[in-house]
Structure 1
Amino acid sequence: MRFLIVDESSEFRRVLAKMLLARWPEAQTVEWDPRQPGDPAAIVARERCDLVLLDSHPTGKDGIQWAAEIRKSLQAPPVVLIADHGDTHAAILAMKAGAADFLRRTGLTEQRLVRSIEDALREREARQLESTGGRSALARTL
C-alpha cells in the first residue's frame, strides 16, 4: 500500500503518516508540499500511489480542482480531501470532483481516517471487480 499525502504543513503530513502506518505498518507514505512546483496529477502518476490524502485549500490552489484533475485518469487512485473547515456545499463539490470523501482536519481521529480510507479502497475494488470479472488481490488484503 502506498499513500501520497499532500499538505502544506509538514507537521500535519507527519501526523497523517503516523496514523496510516499504525493501521498499515508495511505501507509507504510519500509526502508532498503543494507549494513546490509540479502538477498534482503527474506526481500521483509518478508515485504510483493507492490513495491520495489532499489538503482542500493549498496556498493559492484549489484542492477540489486538483482532485478533479487527479481523477481524470482511468487508473487514478481514490482521493480523500481534508479541509481546515468546510460545509455541506464544499463536501458536495468535492464529491462531484471525484473525491472519495471529505474530512475535516479539526477533530480528525485515526479511526475516522482509517474508515474513510478503507471505504474508498473498497469502492475502488468494487469498480475494478466489475471491470475484471471478479478477480482481485486487494479484496483479500482488506
Structure 2
Amino acid sequence: MTRVLIADDEPLVRAGVRTILSTDPQITVVAEAADGREAVDAVRRHRPDIAVLDIRMPGLDGIAAAAQIRQIAPSTGLIVLTTFGEDEYILRALSGGVAGFLTKSGDPEELLAGVRAVSDGAAYLSPKVAARVVAHLANSGLRSAADSRAGARTRVEALTVRERQVLALLGTGLTNGQIARRLNVVEGTIKAHVSSILATLDVDNRAAAAVVAYEAGLVAPDTAGQNRPR
C-alpha cells in the first residue's frame, strides 16, 4: 500500500486529488495539508511514502517544504503539482530532489502514474511539464548554449550505448526493475548504470537525468509515462 500526503491551499484541489487517488486500491491518502508548514508537520507525524505538494502555497511553498521533508524523511518521495507559468519553480525543484512533476490540468491518469512511478523509485515528468522545461532551458538565459539541445546531445554522447538505452527508458518513467526486465539484465546492473549516468551527466537525481534525455531527443515529451505498465 502506498501512503500519500496531499498538500494544497485549495480545498477543491485536495478533494480532486484525493478522489483520483482513491480509484487505485493500492493507494491511500493518510493526511492533507493546506500549506507547506502543515505538510512538513504531517510528514513528521505520518511518514507517508509520497508527498504530493502544490508548488505555490502560502507561508512555505512546495519547494521549500520539499527541502525540509527531504531532511526529516528522506525516504518520502516528492511530487509537485504545477500550473503554467511556473517553469522557474520547476527548475528549482529539479535541484531539490523532487522526483515527480505534474500539471493540475493534466489527465487524472498522469497523477496515478506519477505516484506509482515515484513510489517505485523512478522519476516522472508529465508530458506537458517535460515539454515546457525543455523549451524553457533551451530558450532562457538560465543555461548556457552548452546546455541547450545540442549541448545535451554532446553530454549524452559521453555515455556508453547501453547507458543511453537505460537513460531513454529512465526518461519514460520506468523503474530500475522494469528497465532490467526490458533489457534482460539483472536489476543490480541497471542500478550501476544509473549511478554512472548521473555522474557522467553531472546531475543529482533521476528527474534531472530525465530532462537531459528529453533535451537530447532520447525521449519525446508526448511519450512520457506511456511505457509504464498499468
* Bin of the TM-score, shorter chain as denominator length: 0.7 to 0.9
Check 1:48–1:12 CA distance in 2 against 1; reply closer, same or farther (3 A cut): same
Report whether the alignment pairs 1:115 with 2:113: yes
Q: Deviations over 1:11-41 (max 9, x none)?
A: 1101000110102366234211118xx4543
Query: Could you tell me the percent identity over the aligned residues?
Result: 22
Contact 2:32-2:39 within 8 A present in 1 as well: no
Decide whether aligned partners of structure 1 residues 6 and 74 sit closer, same or farther in structure 2, where only a CA change above 3 A counts. closer
Partner of residue 15, structure 1: 16
CA separation of 1:118 and 1:79: change in aligned 2, threshold 3 A: same
- Runs of 4+ in structure 1 deviating by more than 6 angstroms, as ranges, are none
- Conserved in 1, the CA contact under 8 Å of 2:4 and 2:49? yes
How has the CA–CA distance of structure 1 residues 60 and 48 changed in structure 2, closer, same or farther, with 3 Å as cutoff?
closer
| Alignment-derived partner of residue 101 in structure 2 | 102
Where in structure 1 are there 5+ consecutive unaligned residues?
131-141
| Residues 28, 65 of structure 1: alpha-carbon distance in 2 compared, 3 angstrom cutoff | closer
Matches within 5 A, 1:40-119: 40-73=39-72, 75-105=74-104, 107-119=105-117
Distance 1:39 1:7 in 2: 10
Amino acid in structure 1 at the alignment position of 2:112 = V
TM-score between the two structures when normalised by the length of structure 1: 0.74
d(CA) in 2 for partners of 1:16, 1:28: 9
Alpha carbons 2:44, 2:73 under 8 Å: kept = no
Distance 1:86 1:71 in 2: 25
Any gaps of 5 or more consecutive residues in structure 2? Answer: 123-174, 177-186, 189-229
Per chain length, whose mean CA-contact separation is higher, i.e. which structure has more relative contact order (CA < 8 Å, sep 6+)? 1
SS at match of 2:15: helix
SS in 2 for 1:72: helix
1:65 & 1:86 partners in 2: Cα distance? 18
Distance 1:18 1:39, change over 3 A: closer
